[in-house]
Structure 1
């Protein structure tokens, strides 16, 4: 087999320390916001997440999500808000795929 091909496409993909920190930040966000949502929301559970039933619950959930994101951006200044949001999307999609 061509060793150049093997080196490019058949190597171990081990995450860097930075990638691990970003993933941990996203996981922290998902866990914290879902825990809060389960406290304040009274709606049904869809795709593994509880849903708000009215505008007040939706407001509480959104306010908490904004605050949680602000905390993460302060706690992990090496990442942009967009990088964290992208990783949160990946974490959530992995969770719903299970």
Structure 2
């Protein structure tokens, strides 16, 4: 069985789920503009062909994703010349985003 972006769990394809994740992350970033950024370069000046990186600084550390350049305009956040140095975050660190809610509640 071939597994690709069109592979489905019976409800959604991988492509649909990645698109949903991108839209949801854009909402988080766009609602936290002072914490979010996007860049066409990593901190060392490199980047994957036709991709950019977008990130948000949470009280618990950074969280980032790479997206195809076609999605650039979904992120209405400041553009920086180079992304901050990667802090080593991993997929399981997604819970850092929850600290944004706690940060808002404390204001």
What TM-score, normalized by structure 2, do the two folds share? Answer: 0.28
Considering fraction of residues, name the structure with more helix.
1
Q: Which has the larger radius of gyration?
A: 1
